[in-house]
């Protein structure tokens, strides 16, 4: 595995490449061209400039999170082939720049969803949290506005204001898209891009739905072992792979995370590792908050998760995921430096112990 951190680019991130370079063991960043809109072609020059900037800081551009898939492709409307052609051109340009990992998602309208971006925990740290009652009480239109207000003036990934301005239009686009249709549109997209992925050895890594169930009546399909395996079989090519995000799959307690990692052996190209603390798991009062990475702060056995990755020969980039906001840091919710740095060293500690144990028999 390669330890990485997500970085939003010098124009948007409060964390610098130099700071990331100083986190023990981190050798790469996962980034994106943040000022592009879904559907447009990424030029080779822009990709090259990003890569050069990262390399000048002594790091590697280990992958892209995300090249977003535009809504036309997701709903399968008349324009989709045009946008798929653009996506293919972007992938070719990434391949020419020697980039071989692309994370993306296929969630309708909203990317990840939370109801609080700064819930205060007992130790005074703040975290992202989800409360079902709060979701049930709000109109989807208001959620976009309140996320914007909660974001400390930072641009939240997946909640870009330009997209959220047309949220009603987006809901309209998805009104006839059920789970099966969305799945078929995803398969259509993947089949169309596999040739360019094969040509440049680009591993596509789909990010799961977060949370792992439908919100605001919008269907969600990448949320369980059964569904992700169905996708792997429908396009049975190693370049059709998975971002294993423990915090997203883990929102559904029926998902056995270490087991899922084992059955997805060879198809996990990227791992997001984080922990959740559940306060209530009944359907109506469902409530969780994001914990720090260590096992005892949350509900997941992080040792078993990392062990499953190790034992299945996972060799892609791994990154600590959302961190708590601690030590007075002001940053994009979930993406401060300090707690993610603690997460990165913790995961590496687990990995080293597991690896040495295995090597010494």
- The residues that touch ligand DNO, with contacts defined as CB under 6 A, are 65-66, 103-105, 111-112, 157-158, 207, 334
CA distances from 73 to 79, 106, 353 (A): 8, 9, 44
Q: Kindly state the smallest distance separating residue 275's Cβ from ligand DNO, in Å.
A: 14
For residue 77, indicate whether it is catalytic: no
Which residue number places its CB atom closest to ligand DNO? 66
Residues 267 and 272: their CA atoms lie apart, in Å, by 14
| Cβ proximity of 333 and 289 under 8 Å | no
CA 202 to chain centre: 17
Please pick, among 287, 322, 338, 339, the residue that the annotation labels catalytic.
322
The smaller minimum CB distance to ligand DNO, of residues 2 and 311, is found at: 2
Alpha helices in 166-292 (DSSP H): 167-173, 179-200, 225-234, 246-249, 257-263
Q: Kindly state the smallest distance separating residue 107's Cβ from ligand DNO, in Å.
A: 7
Q: Which two tokens stand for residue 306?
A: 């990392």
For residue 197, indicate whether it is catalytic: no
Residues 185 and 191: their CA atoms lie apart, in Å, by 10
Please pick, among 100, 239, 269, 272, the residue that the annotation labels catalytic.
272
CA 281 to chain centre: 23
Please pick, among 71, 210, 321, 339, the residue that the annotation labels catalytic.
321
Does a cis peptide bond (omega within 30 degrees of 0) precede residue 211? yes
| Cβ proximity of 306 and 258 under 8 Å | no
Q: Kindly state the smallest distance separating residue 128's Cβ from ligand DNO, in Å.
A: 9
The smaller minimum CB distance to ligand DNO, of residues 33 and 354, is found at: 33
For residue 48, indicate whether it is catalytic: no
Q: Kindly state the smallest distance separating residue 257's Cβ from ligand DNO, in Å.
A: 16
Identify any residues that bridge with 4 across adjacent strands, giving them in sequence order: 28
For residue 293, indicate whether it is catalytic: no
Q: Kindly state the smallest distance separating residue 198's Cβ from ligand DNO, in Å.
A: 22
Q: Which two tokens stand for residue 238?
A: 């190693």
Please pick, among 70, 104, 207, 339, the residue that the annotation labels catalytic.
207
The smaller minimum CB distance to ligand DNO, of residues 6 and 307, is found at: 6
Please pick, among 245, 286, 293, 310, the residue that the annotation labels catalytic.
245
For residue 239, indicate whether it is catalytic: no
The smaller minimum CB distance to ligand DNO, of residues 95 and 157, is found at: 157
> Pairing relation of β-strands 28-31 and 60-65?
parallel
The smaller minimum CB distance to ligand DNO, of residues 146 and 355, is found at: 146
Which residues carry out catalysis? 207, 245, 272, 321-322, 335
């Amino acid at each position: 595995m390669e330890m990485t951190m997500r970085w939003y680019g010098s124009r948007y991130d409060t964390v610098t490449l130099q700071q990331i370079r100083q986190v023990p063991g981190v050798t790469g960043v996962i980034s994106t061209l943040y000022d592009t809109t879904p559907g447009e072609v990424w030029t080779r020059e822009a990709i090259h400039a990003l890569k050069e900037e990262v390399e000048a800081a002594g790091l590697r551009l280990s992958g892209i999170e995300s090249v977003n898939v535009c809504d036309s492709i997701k709903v399968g409307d008349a324009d989709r082939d045009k946008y798929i052609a653009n996506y293919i051109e972007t992938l070719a340009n990434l391949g020419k720049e020697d980039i071989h990992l692309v994370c993306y998602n296929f969630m309708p309208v909203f990317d990840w969803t939370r109801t609080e971006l700064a819930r205060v925990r007992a130790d005074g740290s703040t975290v992202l949290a989800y409360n079902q009652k709060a979701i049930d009480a709000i109109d989807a239109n208001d959620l976009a506005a309140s996320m914007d207000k909660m974001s400390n003036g930072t641009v939240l990934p997946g909640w870009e204001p330009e997209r959220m301005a047309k949220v009603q239009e987006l809901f309209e686009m998805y009104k006839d898209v059920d789970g099966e249709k969305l799945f078929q549109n995803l398969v259509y997209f993947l089949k169309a891009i596999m040739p360019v992925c094969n040509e440049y050895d680009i591993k596509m890594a789909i990010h799961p739905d977060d949370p792992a169930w439908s919100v605001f009546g919008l269907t969600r399909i990448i949320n369980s072992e059964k569904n992700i395996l169905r996708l792997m079989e429908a396009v049975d090519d190693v370049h059709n792979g998975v971002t294993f995000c423990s915090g997203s799959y883990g929102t559904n307690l029926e998902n056995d995370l270490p087991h899922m990692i084992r059955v997805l052996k060879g198809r996990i190209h990227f791992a997001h590792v984080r922990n959740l603390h559940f306060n209530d798991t009944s359907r109506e009062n469902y409530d969780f908050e994001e914990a720090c990475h260590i096992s005892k702060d949350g509900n997941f056995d992080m040792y078993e998760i990392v062990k499953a990755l190790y034992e299945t020969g996972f060799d892609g980039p791994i990154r600590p995921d959302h961190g708590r906001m601690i030590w007075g840091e002001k940053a994009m919710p979930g993406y401060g430096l300090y707690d993610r740095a603690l997460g990165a060293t913790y995961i590496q500690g687990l990995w080293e112990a597991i690896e040495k144990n295995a090597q010494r028999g």
